[in-house]
Structure 1
Amino acid sequence: MLDPALVTWLDAQAEALDQGHGDPQAVLGQLAAAQVLRVGIDQALGGSGGTVADAVETLANVASHSLAAAFVFWGQRAFVEYLLHSPNAGLRERLLADLLSGKLAGATGLSNAMKYLSGIEALQVKGLRDDQGWTLAGRLHWVTNLRKGGFVVAAAIEEEGASPFVLAIPDTAVGLTRSDDLQLLGLQSSNTAALSFEQVPVSRDWLLHENAKQFLPAVRPSFLGLQCGMAIGLARRSLSEVEAHLQGMRSFLGEALQVLRERLENTVTELKKGLLDGHFLTQPAALFKLRISLAETAADAVQLELQASGGKAYLTAYGAGFARRWRESAFVPIVTPSLVQLRAELQRQASAA
């Protein structure tokens, strides 16, 4: 269960956060105050205990109220996972407490890298080694949770003649430039922008992992699993709205509601099991299929909500919540890796088998 104060704030701010009228700098602080960022992290490290499956469930609960807030939650929590998987204990000790308290924003920055891992896209940031570390040049076109009050971003770096590696880069680095917020269809208050690297010096103590091809597969289950929480929460909320519209009436919509709900929760159970038993580390295709299924279920749930509410959903006075969920459902298939990219990777794997 979420802190009631957070639920009240999310419900009051959901429309403003989606449209960009809300304060994007406030989201992370609200999440941190409700302690949701600590779920699934060992208590010895400042967490509240539990597993990454518990973190997925918590993120889904946030998404049922605001996908914009859940998007920020995902970016922050994914960066924390990178620290937890990094052999750089010193970096973890420097950053983790501030990330969990919301003092520092963590931006995943690895969407490009995940596409690189599947052969979809080249790495967009290059590094030139020197005595202190590296000098970086390039651009990340779409990064979330770049809070203007202070952020650190993860990025996979290409180095000529060496294996790609993964760095954490602080917003104070000389030559790092944040663009204005991208003008999105929704989820505007998510601090989503582009980053330009113009001869940015970064020392070795910011190294997350020296080998991206080892690190990325290790963090991919958490990266995608937490991402699935957005679809789960959106689908659950739309299905609860359907139930409220039907008010116990027996109809074919009621049957469709039951079918969708069972499909959703069966998929969620399978997702949590795979995250906990490590299955997705060796069988990433299974996780890709679940991500696709959850995105499709979310789209079907929003469509069913439209049918259950009828013309009222199209009236501005009554349908604002539905209109927001409709926009949110349009985002779920395109967040990296998109459904098109996942299907292409599954097809490639099938052809290579």
Structure 2
Amino acid sequence: MITEGNADQHNIIAPLIKEKLKPYVKKVDLDAFYAEDYLLSLGKAGLFQSPGHIEDKVVYNEMQLVEETAKTCMTTAFNLWCHLASLTYLRCSDKETLKRELLPKLENGETLGATGLSNPMKNYAGLEPLHLQAEGKKEGWILSGNLPSVSNLGKGHWFGAVANTNEGKHLMAFVPCEAEGLKFKEKADYLGVNGSATFACQFNDVFIPEKWIISTNAQQFIKKIRPYFVLYQVPLGLGIIEASIESIRKASRKQGGANCHLTVQADELAEKHAYLRNKLYTLVTGQEWTEILKVRLAVAKLALKAVQADMLHNGGAAYLQKSNPARRLKESYFMANLTPTIRHLEKLLNN
């Protein structure tokens, strides 16, 4: 679904999805194929360009990129979200070196970025301790510890990471995958979303020069970027819901039209989807943190409802491993456990 005024963007992304993503969706789902070429093509097409800082129009357009991608493949849309999160870190940083040397490469399709912030997001919600430790050295920092999972990683990629310092402060660094002392172990044994290039990251005295430090006050910096971190996630669910609604409508004549007796129908889902979608796109300024959390939670729950209905409407055909409803079912449960998870969101909204 493209909002009026963004037809040009749609005309650019539609052929990229058709050529570089749709033919590989089953391979992404079943063979852990990483659609890196598609992600890079978005940058090469100019779809990540910004004035170097957060701007409402840029956020709006990039959210729609996630939504359109998720309708075809939420796994790859999740990778896209990872990349947009990394762009947000640099756009919001006051480090001009990062903006001058790395941001253009991430925006023009030369390389890709990742988030690495699942652990600190949980830490700031009181769910777990920070996993990385930083020790100050001349002209930089030494990072040690382990991150259980970081997605959208590969050769030449960069990712954000937060570490605790000896002084009790938190710093946020931008880390290249080629950094000396950094080891990776691929994680591809999930129920789904195995084509997300996810790795466990072990930091063995990894030196990060000062020029790659995003912020030496990560607590305050994350308060600044977290609305966009979450905003870019919501279209993942919107894409799944819309695809499920389309699938349900196509299945309406199965078995003599018996699907009309099922409790959950496409029109009900479409009405709720439209309401949440309209609400989401009024929040692009990032100012209403609580409302953003509410929409994120509601979309995650509606996605679970939509994919279950899609499975029932398509019957036995949906129960095949290669079916689109089965893929969306796995992807929706991943979104339910994507930081901030449903239980994380419930905790934040009830505190």
Task: Give the SS at the match of 1:51.
Answer: helix
Alignment of structure 1 residues 286-297 onto 2, 5 Å: 286-297=291-302
- Aligned position for 1:328: 331
Cα distance in 2 for residues equivalent to 1:17 and 1:325: 12
- Aligned position for 1:195: 201
Cα distance in 1 for residues equivalent to 2:52 and 2:204: 35
* 1:256 has 2:265 as partner: yes
Cα distance in 1 for residues equivalent to 2:58 and 2:190: 33
Query: Deviations along 1:154-193, whole A, 9 cap, x unmatched?
Result: 0111012242121111122211111124422222221100
- Aligned position for 2:148: 141
Cα distance in 2 for residues equivalent to 1:167 and 1:51: 24
1:62·1:69 contact (CA, 8 Å) conserved in 2?
yes
Alignment of structure 1 residues 229-240 onto 2, 5 Å: 229-240=235-246
1:114·1:337 contact (CA, 8 Å) conserved in 2?
yes
* 1:93 has 2:85 as partner: no
- Aligned position for 2:278: 269
* 1:153 has 2:162 as partner: no
Superposed displacement of residue 53, structure 1: 2.3
Cα distance in 1 for residues equivalent to 2:267 and 2:77: 26
- Aligned position for 2:31: 20
Cα distance in 1 for residues equivalent to 2:86 and 2:272: 30
Superposed displacement of residue 285, structure 1: 2.9
Change (3 A) 1:23 1:166: closer
Superposed displacement of residue 315, structure 1: 4.6
Cα distance in 2 for residues equivalent to 1:345 and 1:21: 33
- Aligned position for 1:279: 287
Cα distance in 2 for residues equivalent to 1:34 and 1:46: 20
- Aligned position for 1:123: 130
TM-score normalized with structure 1 length = 0.88
Select the residue among 138, 162, 165 that pairs with 2:171: 165
Percent identity, please: 27
Cα distance in 1 for residues equivalent to 2:77 and 2:302: 18
Task: Give the SS at the match of 2:283.
Answer: helix
Task: Give the SS at the match of 2:161.
Answer: strand
Change (3 A) 1:220 1:213: same
- Aligned position for 1:242: 248
Query: Deviations along 1:291-322, whole A, 9 cap, x unmatched?
Result: 11101111111112122222332356xx6112
Cα distance in 2 for residues equivalent to 1:315 and 1:82: 40
Amino acid at match of 1:332: M
1:246·1:254 contact (CA, 8 Å) conserved in 2?
no
> Unaligned regions of 5+ residues in structure 1, if any?
none
Amino acid at match of 1:330: Y
- Aligned position for 2:346: 343
Task: Give the SS at the match of 2:233.
Answer: helix
- Aligned position for 1:175: 181
* 1:311 has 2:316 as partner: yes
Superposition RMSD on alpha carbons, in Å?
2.4
Change (3 A) 1:46 1:340: closer
Cα distance in 1 for residues equivalent to 2:219 and 2:34: 37
1:27·1:72 contact (CA, 8 Å) conserved in 2?
no
Superposed displacement of residue 255, structure 1: 7.4
Change (3 A) 1:23 1:212: closer
Change (3 A) 1:119 1:254: closer
Change (3 A) 1:321 1:134: same
> Unaligned regions of 5+ residues in structure 2, if any?
1-9
Structure 1, 287-296 or 75-84: larger mean CA deviation? 287-296
Superposed displacement of residue 18, structure 1: 1.6
Task: Give the SS at the match of 2:152.
Answer: coil
* 1:32 has 2:29 as partner: no
Query: Deviations along 1:53-92, whole A, 9 cap, x unmatched?
Result: 2211220110110112111101111100110000001111
- Aligned position for 2:216: 210
- Aligned position for 2:115: 108
Superposed displacement of residue 279, structure 1: 2.9
* 1:61 has 2:86 as partner: no
Cα distance in 2 for residues equivalent to 1:106 and 1:302: 29
Superposed displacement of residue 253, structure 1: 5.3
Cα distance in 2 for residues equivalent to 1:57 and 1:206: 30
Task: Give the SS at the match of 1:3.
Answer: helix
Query: Deviations along 1:5-34, whole A, 9 cap, x unmatched?
Result: 323432211110122353554343344345
Change (3 A) 1:96 1:247: farther
Select the residue among 227, 236, 241 that pairs with 2:233: 227
Cα distance in 2 for residues equivalent to 1:290 and 1:188: 26
2:88·2:225 contact (CA, 8 Å) conserved in 1?
yes
Amino acid at match of 1:327: K
TM-score normalized with structure 2 length = 0.89
Task: Give the SS at the match of 2:336.
Answer: coil
